């Protein structure tokens, strides 16, 4: 296996990535809080994790990717120190039950990812379906003396965990100042301002609360990720991803609770994606620069133009989104598609090493996709044969995820045409068994029939 280098937030250095179990990589990604459509900032972070997964797969590794769905809202603060749970609030506003609302936005999120060719995670665990696992972990922390209960609320005792601050650099000596700025005034019963809630007492009438050994309540923000990642990937796993905003406190607290509970290292590599900005500003509904994939599609762009745009900036750097930059990405992508559609459909056994070697080097160097895109352009303008270009580009697309296959122009043999006509006749006669039989025959000859509103369309099956 070629060497893979990844920047690790833990060491703040680029390190040689070696999986814990040879040939196999476990990745956990913090997924969306499902009370609204995900925005293009969230999607940038998810595409970064997808590029990581695809790069590992390209290197022949097996990957098990777990990405949670946060359907228990964690408390947020708005305006004059008002605390609210976004899922419950939004459900009330939309006249839905919280779980109904969460399900609705979970489905939309999966659709967005599909449009962006983000490979589905092997597991998408929901917080609401893992309350017993969270309670189990909190019990361990109480037993080991890392947590304490105050009238139905359980806090993690940060001072008991020596290594606190190793990810973010926010060690206990620096915490007082930091917390002054973000002090959560409702939590006045904590021993120390740095302590954080593992379990929160709920009012009797609160929607989304559960019975626990400490009475009716709901989990704190961080515990779900520790409970679900370790359930699916083991107490010690390879890579944890998220956006840069999650380094502190979310990931710092995940490390503290997991390592305190299980007594071993939690995660080897922490990979954080840089923020997406819009016109150099933070995205916010109130500023009117808050965009979703739907907004992009409404303006007539292909969602993959957004994916392409994210590849042009290194995942760790901030990405400045502008409509002009999206327009430029769409143009470059269309040019690529046009090139590919002129290459015929002959696929060779091997790719062009002169271009694949530097491509692998680029992606394995902390996912240097901007460099990989330059190699794509170099290959296109080279004097390689069209078969060689096509074969190599299709291989590269296993990482790029830009849907190159869809643009391969093919000539359809007359034998296949005949079978398609015959199938149409069978379908008109409602003889679906025959139609399925013919579809299978067509597939054997290397074509897939796609039934569209204006009739059947054919796609070459490219393996
Ligand atoms: P949230 O739904 O707010 O919990 O965020 C889900 C994921 O999106 C997390 O990994 C965040 O770090 C990431 N994220 C949120 N806002 C942005 C942004 N503007 N740019 C990039 N990533 C973001
Ligand atoms: Zn998380």
pLDDT at 323 over 50: yes
Q: pLDDT category, 116, cuts 50, 70, 90?
A: very high
List, for residues 146-162, the tens digit of each pLDDT value: 999 999 999 999 999 99
**How much is the mean pLDDT over the chain?**
92
Per the structure, the count of domains in the chain is 3
Q: Kindly report the CATH number assigned to the domain that includes residue 40.
A: 3.40.50.620
Of 229, 90, 75, 80, whose CA–CA distance to 153 is shortest? 75
Distance CA 118, CA 44 (A): 11
Long-range residue pairs from 143-148, CB within 8 A, at least 24 positions apart, any chain: 144/260, 144/261, 146/257, 146/260, 146/261, 147/198, 148/191
Residues 321 and 454 in one domain: no
Q: Which domain holds residue 51?
A: 19-273
Residues 291 and 168 in one domain: no
pLDDT at 78 over 60: no
Residues 114 and 212 in one domain: yes
Neighbours of ion ligand 2 (CB under 5 A): 30, 225
Say what the pLDDT of residue 83 is: 61
Residues 255 and 130 in one domain: yes
- Closest ligand 1 atom to the C-alpha of 245? 12
Residues 93 and 174 in one domain: yes
Residue 30 CB less than 6 A away from ligand 1: yes
Residue 427 CB less than 6 A away from ligand 1: no
Q: How far is the CA of 36 from the centre of ligand 1 (A)?
A: 13
pLDDT at 183 over 90: no
Say what the pLDDT of residue 178 is: 64
Residue 87 CB less than 6 A away from ligand 1: no
Distance CA 30, CA 243 (A): 8
Q: Which carries the bigger pLDDT value, residue 98 or residue 59?
A: 59
Residues 34 and 98 sit within 8 Å (Cβ to Cβ): no
Residue 11 lies in a domain: no
pLDDT at 29 over 70: yes
What's the pTM value of the predicted model, to 2 decimals?
A: 0.89
Say what the pLDDT of residue 80 is: 42
pLDDT at 79 over 80: no
Q: How far is the CA of 243 from the centre of ligand 1 (A)?
A: 5
The percentage of the chain sitting over the pLDDT mark of 90, rounded to a whole number, equals: 78
Residue 42 CB less than 6 A away from ligand 1: yes
Q: pLDDT category, 45, cuts 50, 70, 90?
A: very high
Distance CA 7, CA 10 (A): 9
Residue 272 CB less than 6 A away from ligand 1: no
Q: How far is the CA of 29 from the centre of ligand 2 (A)?
A: 7
Choosing from 273, 296, 328, the residue where a domain stops is 273
Q: How far is the CA of 75 from the centre of ligand 1 (A)?
A: 16
Q: Please, what sign has the CA dihedral across residues 98, 45, 52, 330?
A: positive
Residues 77 and 172 in one domain: yes
Residues 209 and 317 in one domain: no
Say what the pLDDT of residue 92 is: 85
Q: pLDDT category, 172, cuts 50, 70, 90?
A: confident
């Amino acid at each position: 296996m070629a060497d893979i280098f990844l920047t690790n937030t833990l060491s703040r250095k680029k390190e040689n990535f070696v999986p814990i179990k040879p040939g196999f990589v476990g990745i956990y990604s913090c997924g969306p809080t499902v009370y609204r459509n995900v925005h293009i900032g969230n999607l940038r972070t998810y595409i970064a994790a997808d590029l990581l997964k695809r790069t590992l797969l390209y290197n022949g590794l097996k990957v098990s990717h777990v990405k949670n769905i946060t359907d228990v809202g964690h408390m947020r603060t708005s305006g004059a120190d008002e605390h609210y749970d976004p899922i419950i609030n939004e459900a009330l506003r939309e006249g839905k039950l919280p779980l109904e609302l969460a399900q609705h936005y979970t489905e939309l999120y999966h659709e967005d990812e599909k449009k962006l060719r983000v490979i589905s995670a092997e597991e998408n665990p929901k917080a609401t379906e893992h309350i017993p696992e969270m309670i189990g972990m909190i019990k361990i922390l109480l037993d080991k003396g890392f947590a304490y209960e105050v009238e139905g609320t359980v806090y993690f005792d940060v001072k008991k965990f020596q290594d606190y601050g190793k990810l973010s650099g926010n060690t206990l000596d620096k915490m007082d100042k930091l917390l002054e700025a973000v002090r959560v005034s409702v939590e006045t019963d904590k021993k120390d301002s740095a302590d954080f809630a593992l379990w929160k007492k709920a009012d009797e009438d609160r929607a989304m609360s559960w019975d626990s050994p400490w009475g009716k309540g709901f989990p704190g923000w961080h515990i779900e990720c520790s409970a679900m990642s370790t359930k699916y990937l083991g107490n010690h796993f390879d890579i944890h991803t998220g956006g840069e905003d999650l380094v502190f406190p979310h990931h710092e607290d995940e490390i503290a609770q997991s390592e305190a509970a299980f007594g071993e290292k939690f995660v080897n590599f922490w990979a954080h994606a840089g923020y997406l900005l819009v016109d150099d500003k933070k995205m916010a509904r109130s500023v009117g620069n808050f965009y979703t994939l739907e907004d992009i599609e409404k303006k007539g762009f292909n969602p993959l133009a957004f994916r392409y745009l994210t590849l042009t900036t290194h995942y760790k750097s901030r990405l400045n989104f502008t409509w002009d930059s999206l327009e430029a990405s769409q143009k470059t992508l269309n040019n690529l598609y046009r090139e590919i559609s002129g290459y015929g459909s002959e696929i060779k056994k091997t790719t062009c090493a002169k271009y694949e070697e530097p491509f692998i080097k680029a992606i394995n160097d902390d996912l240097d996709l901007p460099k990989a895109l330059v190699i794509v352009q170099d290959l296109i303008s080279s004097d390689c044969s069209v078969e060689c270009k096509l074969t190599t580009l299709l291989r590269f697309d296993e990482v790029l995820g830009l849907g190159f296959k869809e643009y391969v122009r093919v000539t359809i043999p007359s034998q296949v045409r005949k079978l398609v006509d015959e199938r149409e006749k069978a379908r008109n006669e409602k003889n679906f068994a025959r139609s399925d039989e013919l579809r299978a025959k067509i597939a054997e000859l290397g074509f897939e029939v796609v039934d569209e509103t204006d009739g059947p369309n054919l796609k070459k099956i490219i393996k």
